Amino acid sequence: MKLAEISSKRPIAILMLLAAIVFLGFISFQHLKLDLLPQIEYPYAVVLTTYMGAGAEEVEELVTSPLEKYISSTPGVRRFTSMSMDSVSFILVEFEWNVKTTDAVGRLSRYVDLASRELPGEAKPVVVEFDPSLLPVYAFSTEEDYEEVVSKIRRLPDVASVEVMGEPKKIVEIVLDHEKIKKFDVDPSLIETILSGNLVYPFGYVKDSEGNIYSVSVDGRFENLDDLKNTIVGFRGVKYQSLLRGEIPKILIPVRLKNIAEVKIVEEGVQGEVRVNGKKASLIAIYKRSGANTVKTVREIKKILSNSGIDYIEAMNQAYYTERAIDNLLKNLFYGFVAAFVVVLIFLKDLTSTFVTSFSIPLSLTVTFVFLYAFGLNLDTLTLGGLIMALGMLVDNSIVVFENIYRHRSLGKSISDAAREGTGEVWLAILASTLTTVSVFLPIVFFTGFVVRLFKYFALAFVFALSSSLFVSTVIVPAGTRWIKPRKGKLSQKLQESYRRALEWCMNRKGLVLAVAFTLVIVSAVFLLSKPMGFLPSFQTNLMVIDVKLPPQSSYEKTSEAVQKIEEYLNEHRSTYNISSFYSEVGITSEYSQIMGRGQNEARIMVNLGGSRREFAKNREKLKEAISSLKIPEAKIEVLEQSQQLYEVLGYPITVEIRGEDLSLIQEKAEEIFERLKNLPEVEKIQIRNSYEKSVVHVRIDRNKSLMNGVVAGQVFLDLQTYMLGKNIGTLKTSEGTLPIVLKKAETLSLEDLPRTPLEGLKGEVPLGAIATVTQKTVPSVIDHSDGERVIYVDLVSIEGAIGDVSKEVEEVLSGMNLSGVKVDISGQKEFMDEAFAELRSVVYMAIALVYMILAAQFESFVLPFVIFLTVPFAIVGVAFAVLVNGYSLNVPVLVGLLTLSGTVVNNAIVMLTRIEQIRKEKDLMESVLEGAQSRLRPILMTTFTTIVALLPTALSQGEGAEIESPISWVVIFGLLISMLFTLFVIPVIYTLVRKRIRV
């Protein structure tokens, strides 16, 4: 091969090429972003609408349903679900995974704008793109002054926003005193009119006599709090009706606002609180920009905090687990390289030759870093997983090239001739083996499901690494030819001779060999098919999330009392469970909690556990049991199983959706399904989502009575708004900043006070009870919709066993029930699992077709590729062994490992049959098979064992990030080991039979 010959003759040029590669690789590595998972564009959006004062049924009818009608016709929408609650409509829209989310959100916004014309005037929908960056990347609490620190953090380029949680917004509140209004004989209907006009407004331009133009603005704002208090809001004895009749007293006695109302700065309608380590505190939450580097952002934040010198408690750190996971995988990468180096040294018994061959690993990785940076990929658990899977294979091509050059040097050929001929003979074989491995992952690019999109980054890193190794073996290894010293190893020769005798034995007993081989394949296939279907393994992060929910009637104060009991337990047992810190969000504390539709009856406790992965995983399980066993009246406690980011997207393991129009009927069927499913032995925890009902006060206006008492129905709404919610009358500059002014006719109203509430009428004050009926009724706390239909969810929160097995049992239970009048579907992680497996099956079919095409093109034969393909079913024996030993279900990592195997196990057969075909031109069939297999024994053993040993650190790892990588590693290890034995002893037998009977 000319390129190999040139590289062997120009060592300085190759040295400069190496220097350039190392330099570019180092720069690229420095700029790679560190993250736990790839930066995926999540195709979700939230349509959030507030309609203050409306109940769940009114929100459903007047807000949610009109919006859903337009959302359903929006192009690119896959499905949508909604929750109608008191005052809030929350619609989660899922787009097709192959659409660009920003464009889809733009289209959705236009359709929502059209729908808003049909909504009540007070209902203003907002469209928000859902992104995991909605979660804070870092959060801390401090009792010291944090304004300067927060200001510096806000200026960081990767920080999107900083939110201070647990610090309520303040307002200037005006509360009218009815007794004082009566005492000063002021008309209350004039107060709001007199206080209006608190604004500045432009009124065009005027000219002077010289033709100069001046802009005119009218300023009616209050100057300060004292100015507001001293504002005249009426005159004694002056009524609105008397003014209409022109009756004005001769002496006007002014009444100021401070005479009839309390004016003060207060905290605006507190609906929640934040506590850190059990104490009420302010929590500073920092959000990163979409696409920003998580680890880099957190490091910059911590640097500012460190330099500021303030004492603070770290409440959340998304980079903690990421850093540990990445560090663990980088260690495995290094240990794998060292292990592969040792294996090569054992085989070659020459340090210089080992360096020449093993140097391909770091060099290929360096080239890969350049590719990763050029294509905008992160350095995360999946891309690193792809590099680790490829680690042992990076040396494969170099070993094959080295072995052949070594053979030619042993024959006494010159450096350049050995490089040219040695590389040329095997170049097509290593190209084909690399292409077959790469082509297995190529079809992943064409699929858009969530799970397959995640593993696309694994595949890309794997492909980049192997492609780099092809370049290194073709250019760099031949350059090291001058340092190859031919040596004859007695052990190697004995091994080859023993292998030849064993292969001759197999060739003489073809029927027995094939019978044993295919029996093992059939038994393994049956075993694998009998295994339950699983999904993704749970991520054991150091963050434990506890959700607490009370009945919808509960205020945040009542929720806080329940949470305090959990906090007390956590503080008492901090050392037992190695708890670093924890914080609680009770009720509505932030914009994120509002977007997610949380209420005052809900709370979330985030617990940070310390120690190694094994320690916090063990403590997590103990703490989960302890928290779940706490008896807190009326409280539902749920400990989330997965990392929060994936949990929000994937949902519960299995969810049964019961749909219909009749809310009482679907509730009845949901309860029947709940009772039947909770008796399944595999179901550990089950719930009916949002099953609470709540009591509401219903005010029914009698229009006839209202008019007879001089009150128009519309006036009732305006008066009650001022009593219950308050009315905004502009802003005021104060010592605490510019604050909104809210006018209220009462500070609080009790249930007993409501019928006695005075309303302004033409005949004077009229109590609400005189013109309306005040009753209590029970309504659903939340009304759920799925694709526009009413739905109730029965969630299997925690199950024992694989999702596939449990879902089959659920389907059997449902099939035996009378579910007439409702529609039932199964969703949750089960839905994602079915989608992922369907796509992975398609990937496998496409990969097989591509591999066959490559092999057929290489060997110019339609039959030989089938012989090579038989290594894939033989690898199933190894997969079955890995599943048996480790107790895996057939989950996504196992299938990805199988997919990886289908492209790699054929490589040894390709190298072997290529050599046999070359010898076949000069010798008979039997001798060609024996000699060709014997000559390829050492490279096959070396490539297989370097890959296996390189993967062992990852397979044995108990550190962070091992949840996905370890199963893939074990599957590949056992698959390669077993398929190597079949390649060495069974493939030559099959090849001989095929060669004798069919022209290939």
Render pLDDT for 393-426 as a digit per residue (tens, 0 to 9).
Answer: 777 777 777 777 777 777 777 767 777 777 777 7
760 located within any domain: no
741 located within any domain: no
CB neighbour list of residue 574: distance below 8 Å, 6 or more residues apart: none
pLDDT(68) > 90: yes
Q: Domain count for the chain, please give it.
A: 4
682 and 804 in contact (C-beta within 8 Å)? no
Pairwise CA distance, residues 172 & 727, whole Å: 11
Please check whether residues 280 and 202 belong to one and the same domain: no
Pairwise CA distance, residues 260 & 255, whole Å: 8
Domain residues for the domain of 103 are: 43-130
Mean pLDDT of 643-648: 52
Please check whether residues 151 and 98 belong to one and the same domain: no
308 and 150 in contact (C-beta within 8 Å)? no
Mean pLDDT of 840-861: 82
pLDDT for position 593: 67
In the chain, what's the furthest Cα-to-Cα distance?
132
Domain end call among 587, 615, 641: 641
pLDDT for position 432: 77
Task: Tell me the pLDDT band of 641, cut-offs 50, 70 and 90.
Answer: low
Residue range 420-467, pLDDT digits in tens: 777 777 777 778 778 888 888 778 877 777 777 777 888 888 888 888
Pairwise CA distance, residues 473 & 923, whole Å: 30
pLDDT(488) > 60: no
559 and 600 in contact (C-beta within 8 Å)? yes
Identify any residues that bridge with 790 across adjacent strands, giving them in sequence order.
Answer: 785
Q: Is 77 helix (H, G, I), strand (E, B) or coil?
A: strand
450 located within any domain: yes
The answer to whether the pTM exceeds 0.85 is no
Please check whether residues 154 and 103 belong to one and the same domain: no
Pairwise CA distance, residues 752 & 517, whole Å: 84
665 located within any domain: no
Task: Tell me the pLDDT band of 239, cut-offs 50, 70 and 90.
Answer: confident
Alpha-carbon torsion (623, 624, 625, 627), positive or negative: positive
Residue range 87-112, pLDDT digits in tens: 788 898 988 877 788 888 889 999 99
pLDDT for position 692: 66
Please check whether residues 226 and 354 belong to one and the same domain: no
Please check whether residues 465 and 362 belong to one and the same domain: yes
672 located within any domain: no
Task: Tell me the pLDDT band of 974, cut-offs 50, 70 and 90.
Answer: very high
Please check whether residues 53 and 116 belong to one and the same domain: yes
Please check whether residues 544 and 531 belong to one and the same domain: no
Pairwise CA distance, residues 569 & 590, whole Å: 26
pLDDT for position 515: 93
Residue range 721-754, pLDDT digits in tens: 888 878 888 888 888 778 888 888 887 777 888 8
Q: Find the helix or strand (DSSP H, E) in which 768 lies.
A: helix 768-771
Pairwise CA distance, residues 675 & 693, whole Å: 19
799 and 728 in contact (C-beta within 8 Å)? no
Locate tokens 């969630």: which residue? Answer: 795
Locate tokens 């170099």: which residue? Answer: 398
Please check whether residues 556 and 407 belong to one and the same domain: no
pLDDT(486) > 70: no
Please check whether residues 408 and 478 belong to one and the same domain: yes
pLDDT for position 644: 47
Q: How far apart are the first and last CA of the chain?
A: 26
Pairwise CA distance, residues 979 & 870, whole Å: 10
Mean pLDDT of 924-951: 85
Locate tokens 């603005």: which residue? Answer: 217
807 and 892 in contact (C-beta within 8 Å)? no
Torsion, CA 191, CA 197, CA 198, CA 204, rounded to 10: -170
779, burial (CB in 10 Å: exposed 0-12, middle 13-18, buried 19+): middle
Q: What tokens does 744 get? A: 């209220």
598 located within any domain: yes
Residue range 814-833, pLDDT digits in tens: 988 888 888 998 888 888 78
User: Closest Cα to residue 281, out of 144, 439, 158?
Assistant: 144
Residue range 305-331, pLDDT digits in tens: 988 888 888 888 888 877 877 787 788
Mean pLDDT of 689-715: 81
Which range among 351-355, 594-598, 705-709, 797-801 shows the weakest confidence by mean pLDDT?
A: 594-598
Name the average pLDDT for the chain: 82
pLDDT(687) > 50: yes
DSSP-assigned letter for residue 117: G
The strand order across the sheet containing 727-734 reads: 261-267, 170-176, 737-744, 727-734
134 and 46 in contact (C-beta within 8 Å)? no
pLDDT(878) > 50: yes
Please check whether residues 160 and 250 belong to one and the same domain: no
Please check whether residues 142 and 126 belong to one and the same domain: no
Q: What is the DSSP string of 885-927?
A: HHT--B-HHHHHHHHHHHHHTHHHHHHHHHHHHHHHTTS-HHH
Domain end call among 615, 641, 667: 641
Identify any residues that bridge with 316 across adjacent strands, giving them in sequence order.
Answer: 139
User: Closest Cα to residue 163, out of 195, 138, 189, 130?
Assistant: 138
pLDDT(40) > 60: yes
CATH number for the domain harbouring residue 595: 3.30.70.1430
36 located within any domain: no
412 located within any domain: yes
Please check whether residues 211 and 354 belong to one and the same domain: no
Which range among 488-497, 523-532, 644-653 shows the weakest confidence by mean pLDDT?
A: 644-653
Pairwise CA distance, residues 20 & 16, whole Å: 6
Mean pLDDT of 867-890: 86
